[in-house]
Structure 1
Amino acid sequence: MTTRNLDALFHPRAIALVGASNRTGTVGALAARNLFEAGFEGPILSVNPKERAIRSSLNYASVADLPIPVDLAVVAAPPDEVPRVISQLGEKGCRAAVVLPAGYGPGEQFEGAEQRQALLDAARPHLLRIIGPNGLGFISTRAHVNASIAHLMPAKGDVAFVSQSDTMTAAVLDWAHARGFGFSHVAALGEKADVDFGDLLDYLALDNTTRAILLYVESIADARKFMSAGRIAARAKPVIVIKAGRSVAGAQAALSHTGVLAGSDLVFDAALRRAGMLRVHEMRELFEAVTTLSAGIRLAGERLAILTNGGGAGVVAVDALEGSAGRLGTLLPATVEALDKALPRTWSRSNPVDIQADADGARYGAALKALLADKGSDAVLVLHAPNALSDSGAAADGVMAVLETRPRAPVLTCWLGESAAASARRRFAGRRIPTYDTPDEAVRAFGHLVAYQRNQTLLMETPPARSFDEPDRPAARRLVEGVLAAGRSALTEVEAKAVLAAYDIPVVDTRIATSPEEAGRLAQDIGFPVVVKVLSHDLTHKSDVGGVRLDLRTSAAVEDACRAIIASVAEKRPGARIEGFTVQAMIRRPNAQELIAGIGYDKTFGPVVLFGQGGTAVEVIGDRAVALPPLNGVLAREMIERTRVAKLLAGYRDHPPADMNAVAGTLVKVAELLADLPQIAELDINPLLADEHGVLALDARIVVHPTRVEGTDRFAIKPFPSDLSKTLELTDGSTVALRPIRPEDEPGLVDVVHRSDPQDVRMRFLGSVKDFPHLMAARLSQIDYDREMAFVAQEDNGDICGVVRIIADPDNDAAEYAIMVRSDFKGKGLGFQLMSEILAHARKRGLRQVFGDVMRENGPMLRLAEDLGFKATPGSDDPSVMRVVLNLDVPSAAGVQIPEEA
């Protein structure tokens, strides 16, 4: 379930309180006080078998006695009674319930899986939704509903707060109340037996009373649901997250480096970044971030100009900027010239722009205008330090006068001090101009803007076209299955490299010797110098036991090295079995950086790809980034840029830049390998050499486990469904390839629009479309395969000639379709075939209904819809639009003759 019946929670017509009480200090009395005093305009009916009235309102002895249906129930009954109460409420037509703790002592709260399951079993036949149990409850200031045991009713606002912790919920309400901060809705999820973060993100994404969403998260139960809902919500409004449990103490021990390096908190960061959400780490930061992001400021980059009347304040801001996501902007010559005309000769002539202590409103305004016009910065931080020579109110007036004509200009303000600054801060806040108490807070807020904008940009970035061939999946699968059949969990180095080679990851030629003498002969064949390593299933990290010898230049040196390895292993790991040795050429690439690329596993978000600086000290260096698969070129590059080694890869002094396409391509291939081979639990490529000539894997380790699941079932983000590709034959005998859409198809979608008749484009988009902007095309090509599906038809030359899509509701109940066929392909039956394919897919995924909006004048589309079984009715709002609906329990259109106009 997702949003089904949640309207009963947010907009109830009548509410029941089961377990109401008049006894002071009880949960039932507190819930009654909150409900009756919140100002709810509908009826509130209380239930208690021992009371005649609750707060002067007629009470009922049982749920069965309620005289009218209720949408929402608040349940404060003992845990053993709750399933029976929920069943009775469901029979009375109730669609949502908030299950509060019955008390605060042992046995008075839900404990254990059996009690929670009994609760869900009672609710399921009625599709009744549950908030809780054991949560603080639910509040909607818009509907005047306080179905909680919170100590206060928050002020009305346009920010929703969803929390997993009662303590944090109460603390946030108290913090916000003291500062006059309001909420649209507050939900404390408790044990999340039913309604969880994903459900509420789906609902709040479409809630027009909510401008931003705050989450306090302790754990995620359904990662794919959370990611799908989060990506949709974050595209619509800011979603800001604070998470408990940031330490790496809970990281699982693993056989490979990646298992150690990919800590759970690092993965959670990567998940939020991938979904376009913003993470903060403190409660104060939470409200700073929502204040900043909800101001509607959008940045073009990360450069900050600082305008100040005091040099010290400017220096503090620059120091804070040093460790943030932003950087100091530069003043262009034209800006310096404009400032020379408006400011005293003593101004700083650099960034920070110090306009001197006696700056008045006019000086602030003139300087701000010049900086907003400067292309060397992306935002301006305006500072004011109180002193005897300036009027803080007049300075604020100067800033606000400029922003009256530019209400969403990228400007942040910081008026230092208390008494002199308080009035200016209130006035800024009243006009939704972000304002902060200290330069550090202001710079941190700018960092939030930068990070949020980066995440949003990443959501809409068009990846490059695939630049490498399909892997040899059968060969890799045979290797892995052979190892498992032999009862082993770790592949040998040679086997691991063979798997990489099947995915076109360059590896150094490696051969196996069973004795020192054979190693010497193989070295002679390979050519000196060579590297010799121990071959043993019992040894995880060869270098830790002296199992690696480098730069060997003769056969005798190779034999001596093998004997030394045997002795070293016997001393450091007695009992470890040595199967032999691997011999490979000693690679000399003086400009190469040692990297690590690999696969780890997170218990919440599943498999992850790891990248960072490699070598034997990889854990000590700790330079790594993780990302959730699947990956494309853009995501892989962003992952690389989050590491310190990225600066070395970019080139320095006499070291040319590394081939970044090859590095990014390797990460994409590792993610594909992860999708194709679910048996792979861990993988290290360390070191992976990277220089201007490309990449080369010198060593690799793979750990496998038996599994029956599909590789992509483990992913938190559903990847490209390659199994849905096929060939379609058109009525003129030609063929086109049909496949799901990829993010890199954005240019192809734009091409379809540009090569189509304007009238056809108008029919598709229900109005004139003069341009097809990047954001629109990116949204249509970068879909969530778990919620949407789009098929493209492609000519032999790669050009897209048609596209069809469905977008399902969060309940996977109904979906809206859209279709466009390039004008020169009309009349070939492509439209009919595309619709047939998307309807077959809708049936397969269990959708109940597909609908679409068609202009009345679009006769061919209306006839095609009729041929496919759709029923047309007038649209609800626009008389020029028809709504066509197909219930999918009717027979499919297979075998129907393709209409000529299709």
Structure 2
Amino acid sequence: MSLYNLDKILKPQSIAVVGATDRPKSLGRSLVHNLIKGGFKGDIYPIHPKKPEIMGIKAFSSLQMVKKPIDCAVICTNIKTVPAIMQQCVDLGIGGTVIISAGGKEVGPEGEALEKEILAIAEKGGVRVVGPNCLGVVSSQANMNASFAHIMANPGNLAFISQSGAVCTSVLDFAAQEQMGFSHFISIGSMLDVDFGDLIDYLGNDPEVKSILLYVEMINNHRKFISAARAVSRVKPIVVLKSGRSQAGAKAAQSHTGSLVGEDAVYDAAFKRAGIVRVDTLGDLFGCAELMAKQPRPKGPRLAIVTNAGGPGVMAADYLASYGLEPAPLSEETFAKLDAICPPIWSKSNPMDLTGAATPETFKKAIDICCHSKDFDAVLIMLPPMAMFSSVEFAKDIAEALFDLDFPTFAVWLGGKEMEAGRKILNQSGIPTYPNPEGAIRAFHYMYTYGRNQEMLQEIPSETSQNAAIDPQKAREIATRALENKESLLTEVDSKNLLRAYGIPATLAKVAESAKEARAMAAEMGFPVVVKLHSKTITHKSDMGGVVLDLRNENEVVKAFNTIQAATREYDPEAHFGGVTIQPMIRQKGQEVILGVKRDPDFGPVIMFGMGGVMTELFKDRAIGLPPLNHLLARRMIEETKVYRLLKGYRNIAKVNLDQLEEIMVRLSQLVIDLPEIAELDINPLLLTPGWASALDARVMISPAAEPSPLHLSISPYPAEYEGFRETKTGHKLFIRPIKPEDAPMMLELFETMSQKSIYNRFLRKVTVLDRDTLVRFTQVDYDRDLALVALDLSGHKPTMVGLTRLSGDPDGVSAEWAIVVGDPWQEQGIGAMLMNVAIETGKKRGLKRLWGYLMAENKGMVALHKRFGSKLTKTKDGKKYQAVYDLDQ
């Protein structure tokens, strides 16, 4: 349902409290009291079967007796009564509900059955549900405190969403102390209906909300969550505290990848891919929230540390170093300005220890110099208690000096009660304060990380070409055969054939079922060779003596066969022994890495890269990513690991072919997109050299897929089903396909063919340059919600983009904004009409009800085209534009 009827909960005009009472210390009384005290300006309808009045407000015996429109019902009765109440809400057309009542799935099967009954009734009637088992909803925008929280949130621009009511009240307490303001406080409890994805979408579209904070225990609809977060995090920060760093799931895994990729690591990868900043503690969430609420985001990592005591400055620098950062160096200009005002014994470097000899005036001037210097992205001010320094007066001076300055500044007022008054002054003035350097540096680092993550996510990938073809049908046959034979573990031969089907290089492996066959195969292959166990049940061959290396003659091969056969019987008499595989011994030196896949129960397949060979589980040097991967995302995964330093060349170690490694990772990503039956996969080791790469060993675990491709993924992959050739009325044959991130150069070339008039007609404003951010926004789309289809002319020496149509999905899930662009050289050739048909067909395929967009009234050609296709055109108030709406059911 997404945004449908959420306004009824978050911006209601009327609220009914079902279970209202005036009994002291009851939920029903707290809810009514908070609505009144919070200043809710709409109608409040307490529902009580017997009381005519509650807290001075007329009460009603039932919802039916209200006889007036009700936007939202807040329900706090016994959960067993909720199904009947929900049916009343449906019958009365009440759009939103907040179920405070506990006793749902958290108590067991009976409660879970009740929740299912409630949801079925609500869905049938289009009623949205927050909860059950929640604290309620607070919106300072609407002066609404529809919760049983003990205090109302101060007005502000932060939104907070939490699964825990206790965490909500803790944050409210802290916010009041630190003078932080919130636009929304939403406790979502069991997320029976409204979940994180819905609320991120809703708050992302609210211009009054500048940042979103989440306390997460679990996520139910992972694909919706990531889609919403990816869209919103581009325009406003999302910070999450995720509890439950359990490794229990990893212990049951049979592969190296499974044991290295625990639940928490997958959440980390998902948050990073969505552009979310993850914090580790509630204190960090508070600290990060305070910095976001009160200050602009730092544009980079260059921090100035200004203090009058050496120790705190050193502590701050040390903590900064733990994140791989260091205090920004002073330019000659900044140094000269500081040296002219500071005591002779000041540190002359950053951290800037002005020493105890510095007067408050000197301290204030130094801060001003740093805030106006081009050397820094943020300034941290630290003051310890000092007899000759009034922290209160200095706080007043700082607050006044920084009042109108749009530059990130924050403070550490070290000490206890003596410093509290100064902290309060700074907090009231919008300057965040922290009790110690560690908290301040952590908050700064988290905010810098958000900016860096956004930059990485918006980088434009280079154009690439796949030289090796893929054979999805062959891979499908291997998986199907194994499932039909009820085999969960593919043999090494089948595992490598699966990889080769996707162009992933792997060493040759031939199966010998007897010692005689092994002797003959080895002689034919040429020595030296490797002999490995061929089994459908044993996963780790090395652990039980199932691998013998560097065999130089036939006798050694026969001996190895017999040894492996005996070792298998000793290891497990019931284990399958299918003979051995004969493989060439690779002598060339290189770097061993591991590539793996694990099917996460929540996020679907995840991909791992890291240090390989026998050191895999010892060093646990790995990076995790979610498919689909492109070359840029693959490179970022590689760069996260320590082994990357070796791969790019280190001392006498040669650089490997990183481009080929990226290509292998992209192909592995495509394999897991196409084959949801892959439960676990290891390529260990993948040997990398300067000239080539090859999988020396591979194992794949197969099991039936819960969902078909691509529904098993958390991020929608490239939708190849929209590819195809189209012909215009003039006989111009064009290839239509979804846009790719790599299309940015072609998009820029298309823009350069357009006149200023054409550009104005497309953007509805003057645009002279297609900047990088716009290019990224147009080419890096979330295929779940947006789809741009490009028209390519393939007749030349390289593809040329001649036009495109774009459908930008609205959060309601039923409509999309619609635009068509055709380059000037290709206009009046029927391409616009062809793209119009493509857009309409695509909208219908995606289950949309309508397409809409704006046209310049002077754009006669496009206006005529819309009229011909039957769009409804409505002129805007200024008469300069039309709104075009196309009903897809017509």
TM-score by length of 1: 0.93
Superposed, which structure 2 residues align to 1:760-775 within 5 Å?
760-775=758-773
3-state secondary structure, aligned to 1:711: coil
Separation in 2 of the partners of 1:517 and 1:345?
Answer: 87
The alignment partner of 1:287 has SS state of helix
Closer/same/farther in 2, CA of residues 433 and 59 from structure 1, 3 Å limit: closer
Identify the residue that residue 96 of structure 1 maps to in structure 2: 96
Q: Show CA shifts across 1:401-460 (max 9, x none).
A: 88567x343544333334665455445444544442311112111210222112212331
Q: 1:595 aligns with which of 575, 593, 596?
A: 593
User: Structure 2 matches for 1:299-310, cutoff 5 A?
Assistant: 299-310=298-309
Instruction: Identify the residue that residue 827 of structure 1 maps to in structure 2.
Output: 828
2:40 match: 40
**How far apart are 1:206 and its partner, in Å?**
1.2
Bigger Cα displacement from structure 2, 866-875 vs 182-191: 182-191
Q: 1:411 to 1:666 in 2, by over 3 A?
A: farther
Give 1:20 deviation, angstroms. 1.5
Whichever residue aligns with residue 564 of structure 2, its letter is I
Matches within 5 A, 1:16-55: 16-55=16-55
Give me the whole-angstrom Cα distance separating, in 2, the residues matched to 1:21 and 1:107.
26
Deviation at 1:362, TM superposition (A): 5.6
Distance in structure 2 (CA, Å) of the matches to 1:745 and 1:520? 53
Report what 1:312 is aligned to: 311
Partner amino acid for 1:786?
A: D
1:361–1:399 contact (8 Å) kept in structure 2: no
TM-superposed deviation, 1:133:
1.6
Query: 8 Å contact 1:329–1:351 — kept in the other structure?
Result: yes
- What per-residue deviation string (whole Å, max 9, x for no partner) do you get for residues 368-405 of structure 1? 56656877765443433444565657876887788567
* Corresponding position of 1:87: 87
Q: 1:250 to 1:709 in 2, by over 3 A?
A: closer
Partner of 1:270: 269
Measure how far apart 1:242 and its partner are: 0.9
Distance, in Å, in 2 between the alignment partners of 1:508 and 1:375 is: 55
Instruction: Name the amino acid aligned to 2:558.
Output: E
- The residue type equivalent to 2:840 in the other structure is L
Give yes or no for contact 1:110–1:134 (8 Å, CA) kept in 2: no
- Per-residue CA deviations over 1:148-199 (Å, capped at 9, x if unaligned) read 2223323222221111122222332233334333322112112211111111
Cα displacement string for residues 798-840 of structure 1 (whole angstroms, at most 9, x for unaligned residues): 2211111111222211111012111111111111111110111
2:10 and 2:137 in contact (8 A); partners too: no
Change (3 A) 1:690 1:377: farther
Cα offset for 1:526? 2.9
Corresponding residue number in structure 1 for 2:491: 492
Kindly tell me: are residues 775 and 430 of structure 1, through their superposed partners in 2, closer, same or farther at Cα, counting changes over 3 Å?
farther
Evaluate the alpha carbon distance shift between residue 656 and residue 54 of structure 1 in structure 2; reply closer, same or farther with a 3 A threshold: same
CA contact (8 A) 1:140 1:186 kept: yes
2:563 corresponding residue in structure 1: 564
Instruction: Supply the distance in 1 between the matched residues of 2:810 and 2:173 (Cα, whole angstroms).
Output: 36
**Equivalent residues in 2 for 1:130-279, closer than 5 Å:** 130-251=129-250, 253-279=252-278
| Partner of residue 814, structure 1 | 815
Please give the alpha-carbon distance, in whole angstroms, between the structure 1 residues aligned to 2:370 and 2:39. Answer: 49
Q: Residue 629 in 1 paired to residue 627 in 2?
A: yes
Match of 2:858 in 1: 857
Deviation at 1:744, TM superposition (A): 1.5
Q: Which residue of the other structure, out of 686, 689, 695, is the alignment partner of 1:697?
A: 695
1:784-804 deviation line (CA, Å, top 9, x unaligned): 111111101112222211111
Deviations 1:703-731 (A, max 9, x none): 11234843221001111001210112233
Q: Residues 856 and 548 from structure 1, CA distance in 2 versus in 1: closer, same or farther, beyond 3 angstroms?
A: same
Q: Is the 8 A contact 2:104 2:112 kept in 1?
A: no
CA offset digits 1:532-562 (Å, max 9, x no partner): 2111112110011011112222222222222
Name the stretch that deviates more: 320-329 or 307-316: 320-329
- Residue 577, structure 1, aligned to residue 576, structure 2: yes
C-alpha distance in 2 between matches for 1:296 and 1:70: 39
* SS of residue paired to 2:688: strand
Contact 1:8 1:95 in 2 (8 A): yes
1:628, distance to aligned residue in structure 2 (A): 1.1
Instruction: Provide the rounded CA distance (Å) in 2 between the counterparts of 1:375 and 1:485.
Output: 66
Query: Which ranges of structure 1 fall in alignment gaps of 5 or more residues?
Result: 891-902
Say whether the 8 Å CA contact 1:258–1:599 is kept in structure 2: yes
- The percentage of aligned residue pairs carrying the same residue is 39
- Three-state SS of the structure 2 residue aligned to 1:112 is helix
Q: Distance in 1 between matches of 2:637 and 2:94?
A: 48
Q: How does 1:681-696 map to 2 (within 5 A)?
A: 681-696=679-694
1:479 is displaced (CA, Å) by 2.5
What amino acid sits opposite 2:319 in the alignment? Answer: A
Contact 2:130–2:191 (Cα < 8 Å) also in 1:
yes
Identify if the C-alpha distance between structure 1 residues 623 and 140 changes in structure 2 by more than 3 Å, giving closer, same or farther.
same
Deviations 1:676-699 (A, max 9, x none): 112222110001122333432111
Contact 1:806 1:838 in 2 (8 A): yes
CA apart distance, 1:670: 1.0
Contact 1:302 1:450 in 2 (8 A): yes
2:381, 2:633 → 1: CA distance? Answer: 35
Q: Distance in 2 between matches of 1:369 and 1:656?
A: 49
Does structure 2 conserve the Cα–Cα contact (< 8 Å) formed by 1:110 and 1:116?
no
Task: State the partner residue of 2:538.
Answer: 539
Q: Deviations over 1:96-125 (max 9, x none)?
A: 1111217x8999999533211221232234
Residue 669 (1) aligns with residue 667 (2): yes
> Which amino acid is the alignment partner of residue 597 of structure 1?
L
The secondary structure found in structure 2 opposite 1:251 is: helix
Cα distance in 2, alignment partners of residues 559 and 825 from structure 1: 70
Is the contact made by 1:795 and 1:801 (CA closer than 8 Å) also made in structure 2?
Answer: yes
Which residue number corresponds to residue 72 of structure 1?
72
* Distance verdict in 2 for CA 1:486–1:109, change over 3 Å: closer
- What whole-Å deviation, never above 9, does each CA across 1:216-258 have from its counterpart, x for those lacking one? 1111111111111111221221111111211212436222221
- Asked whether the equivalents of residues 325 and 451 of structure 1 are also in contact (C-alpha less than 8 Å), the reply is no
Go from structure 1 to structure 2 and tell me whether the alpha carbon gap of 1:372 and 1:67 turns closer, same or farther (over 3 Å shift).
closer
Q: Which amino acid aligns with 2:8?
A: A
- Are the equivalent residues in 2 in contact too, given 1:414–1:436 (CA < 8 A)? yes
Aligned to 2:728: 730
SS at match of 1:565: helix
Aligned partner of 1:872 in structure 2 is: 873
Give the corresponding residue for 2:5.
5
User: For the residues of structure 2 that align with 1:306 and 1:848, how far apart are their CA atoms?
Assistant: 56
Indicate the residue corresponding to 1:790 in structure 2. 788
**One-letter amino acid of the counterpart of residue 191, structure 1:** S
> How far apart are residue 701 of structure 1 and its match?
0.6
CA RMSD of aligned residues (A): 2.7
* Normalised TM-score (structure 2): 0.94
Asked whether the equivalents of residues 171 and 286 of structure 2 are also in contact (C-alpha less than 8 Å), the reply is no
Number of matched pairs: 886
Alignment of 1:164-563 (within 5 A): 164-251=163-250, 253-295=252-294, 297-324=296-323, 326-332=325-331, 336=335, 339-341=338-340, 343-360=342-359, 363-364=362-363, 367=366, 378-388=377-387, 407-418=405-416, 421-422=419-420, 425-469=423-467, 470-563=469-562
Alpha-carbon separation, structure 2, partners of 1:83 and 1:105: 12
- Inter-partner Cα distance in structure 2 for 1:813 and 1:570: 61
Closer, same or farther: CA 837–307 of 1 in aligned 2, 3 Å: same
Q: Helix, strand or coil for the counterpart of 2:825?
A: helix
C-alpha spacing 1:828/1:648, structure 2 compared with 1 (3 Å): same
- The Cα shift of 1:463 comes to 1.6
* 1:644-670 Cα distance to aligned partner (Å, 9 max, x none): 222332322111333222222222111
Tell me how far 1:308 sits from its aligned partner: 3.2
Contact 2:295 2:409 in 1 (8 A): no
Return 5+ residue gaps in structure 2 as ranges. Answer: none
CA distance in 2, matches of 1:476, 1:91: 53
Question: SS at 2:250's partner residue?
Answer: coil
Deviation at 1:343, TM superposition (A): 4.3
